[in-house]
């Protein structure tokens, strides 16, 4: 097995680890209700997708 001949500095180690962070998911706003949703998904708030009503969503009486 290959072993490093010299010790790597903390700066070199941290440069390598700089890209290991988790990326936030991309979110878009629904054109109908303005709710933040993942792209290419039906809006759970209003049931619209690409400007068309796809799913009928029952409104909660408690929420309003």
Q: Is the pLDDT of residue 63 over 80?
A: no
Q: Is the pTM of this model over 0.75?
A: no
Condensed to tens digits (0 to 9), the pLDDT of residues 33-56 reads 999 999 999 999 999 999 899 999
What pLDDT, on a 0 to 100 scale, did the predictor assign at position 60? 64
At residue 17, what are phi and psi to the nearest 5 degrees? -80, -5
If one counts the domains in the chain, the total is: 1
Task: Examine residue 1 and state whether it is found in any structural domain, yes or no.
Answer: no
Q: Where are the beta strands (DSSP E) in 1-64?
A: 28-29, 36-37, 48-49, 52-53
- The answer, yes or no, to whether residue 17 has pLDDT greater than 70, is yes
Cα gap 10→38, rounded to integer Å = 38
Give a yes or no: residue 45 inside a domain.
Answer: yes
Q: Which residues contact 31 (CB under 8 A, 6 or more apart)?
A: 48, 51
Give the up-direction half-sphere exposure of residue 45: CA atoms within 13 A in the CB hemisphere. Answer: 12
Confidence of residue 10 (pLDDT cuts 50, 70, 90): very high
Please check whether residue 54 lies inside any domain of the structure. Answer: yes
Q: Is residue 32 part of a domain?
A: yes
- Residue 28's SS3 state is strand
């Amino acid at each position: 097995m290959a072993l490093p001949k010299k010790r790597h500095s903390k700066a070199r180690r941290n440069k390598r680890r700089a890209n290991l962070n988790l990326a936030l998911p991309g979110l878009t706003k629904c054109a109908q209700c303005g709710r933040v949703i993942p792209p290419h998904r039906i809006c759970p708030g209003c049931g619209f997708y690409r400007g068309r009503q796809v799913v009928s969503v029952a409104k909660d009486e408690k929420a309003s």
